[in-house]
Amino acid sequence: MSRTLAGHTALSLAVGLIGAGLATIAGLPAAPLIGAAITTSAAAWAGATLAVDTRVRDVGFLIIGLSLGSGFQADILEKAGSWVLSLAILCLSIFATLMIGKWLMQSLAKADRETATLASAPGTMSMAIAMAVEGRGDATRVTVIQSMRLLMLTAILPLALVGTDASMADAAPQPSIDWLHLCLLALAGWVCASLIKRTGFPAALLVGGMAISALAHVFGLVHGTPHPWLQFVGYCLIGSVIGSRFSGITLAAIRREAGSTALIVAVAAIVSAIFALCVSVITQLPIGQIWVAFAPGGVEAMAAIGLAMGFDPAYVAVHHLARISFLTLCLPLVLKR
C-alpha cells in the first residue's frame, strides 16, 4: 500500500468511525453502517480525497460474511425448499424494476438506451459502472446514479424498517465464537474467496466467508457469531467504502442527476416493496425481512443491514446472491435489445 493510499484509507476510516459512533449514540438502526456511509459521503462531497484500500475493504467483507454464515443452521435445506417461490418472485421483481426504471429514464430523464439500462440496474453496481466505463452509455451519469442509489437505500431502508414485525430486539443473543475457531474460519474463508474471485463473481470475500461459516455452523463445528465489536468494525468498513466512492464526484454532477437518482430509487423501493408484500402474504414471512432481501442495493450493504436488523441472515443472503446471479445473466441480454 502506497503512503498516499494509506493516508486516504486512514482518513476514510477515521471519518467513518466518527459517523458510526455518532449514529450508535443516536440509537439509529444499523448505526455503524449508516453513520459511516453518511459521514464519509459528506466528507467526499466537501472535497476530501477518500479511498479504502481493497485489502482493508476485504477485511470488512470477510467479517460480515462470517457473521452471515452464523445464521445458517442444520435445517437450512428444509428452509431453502420453502424459498423457491420467494426466489422466483424476486426474479420478477428485479426484471420489473429494471424495465420500469429504464423506460422512465428514457422517457423523463432523456437518457440513451444503454445509459438508462445501466443506471436502472437494481444491484451489481460495480458491473454496471464497469460496462459504462468500457463505452456502454454515459459513464459519469451511471456512476453518480448508481452510487447515490446505494447510499440512499443504505441510509433510508433501516429507518423505514423500524417497527416492522422483526427486529434486532426480538433476536436471541448468540455467544461469541472463540478466537481460535474464528481465525480458522477467517483463513478458510479467505482461501475460499480466492477461488471464487477466479470466477469473476462479485463480493468474493463476503461469499467465501459466508460459505465457510455456514458449513461450519450447519455441521455443528462452531457455534455463535463473531464478537459484536468485530461486527461493528465490519459495518464501519462497508459504510466507509460506500461513502468513499463519492471522492472525485462533484456536487454539480450530483445535483445534475438528483432528479434521475430520486426516480430510480423510488422505482426500486416501491417495486421491491410491492413484490415483498406479495411474498409476505403468500408465505407469512416477515415483511421487513423480505423487503431487505428484495431491496436492490449492494449485496454487502443489504446483507449487512439484514444482519444488523436481526432478520434471518440465511434468507437475506441467499436472495441477494440470487439477485446478483440473475442480474449478471439478465443485464447483458437487456443491453443487446
Collect all residues with Cβ–Cβ distance below 8 Å to 14 and sequence separation of at least 6: none
The answer to whether residue 106 scores a pLDDT higher than 60 is yes
pLDDT band at 169 (very low <50, low <70, confident <90, very high): very low
Residue predicted with more confidence, 81 or 162 = 81
- Mean pLDDT in residue range 288-293: 91
3-state secondary structure of 49: coil
- Mean pLDDT in residue range 75-97: 88
Q: Which of 30-34, 48-52, 166-170 has the lowest mean pLDDT?
A: 166-170
**What average pLDDT does the chain have?**
88
Beta bridge partners of 72: none
Highest mean pLDDT among 13-22, 139-148, 193-202: 13-22
Amino acid 163: pLDDT: 61
- Mean pLDDT in residue range 85-99: 94
pLDDT in tens, 123-150: 778 788 888 888 888 988 999 999 999 8
Amino acid 173: pLDDT: 62
Report the alpha-carbon distance of residue 280 to residue 297 in Å, rounded.
20
Strands (E), 63-192: none
Amino acid 168: pLDDT: 45
Q: Which of 92-96, 147-151, 172-176, 290-294 has the lowest mean pLDDT?
A: 172-176
Q: Which of 96-100, 130-134, 260-264 has the lowest mean pLDDT?
A: 130-134
Amino acid 324: pLDDT: 86
Q: Which triple of cell numbers denotes residue 29?
A: 438502526
**Largest separation between any pair of C-alpha atoms in the chain:** 57
- Mean pLDDT in residue range 36-60: 93
CA 202, 161, 153, 105 dihedral sign is positive
Amino acid 167: pLDDT: 47
- Mean pLDDT in residue range 110-117: 92
Angle at 99 between CA 95 and CA 103, to 5 degrees: 170
Amino acid 298: pLDDT: 74
Report the alpha-carbon distance of residue 273 to residue 34 in Å, rounded.
21
Instruction: Give this prediction's pTM.
Output: 0.86
- Mean pLDDT in residue range 57-67: 93
Report the alpha-carbon distance of residue 65 to residue 189 in Å, rounded.
9
Burial of 183 (0-12, 13-18, 19+ CB in 10 A): exposed
At residue 10, φ and ψ (nearest 5 deg) are -60, -40
**DSSP for residue 176:** B
Amino acid 194: pLDDT: 94
Amino acid 45: pLDDT: 92
Give me the architecture of the 3-336 domain, per CATH.
Up-down Bundle (1.20)
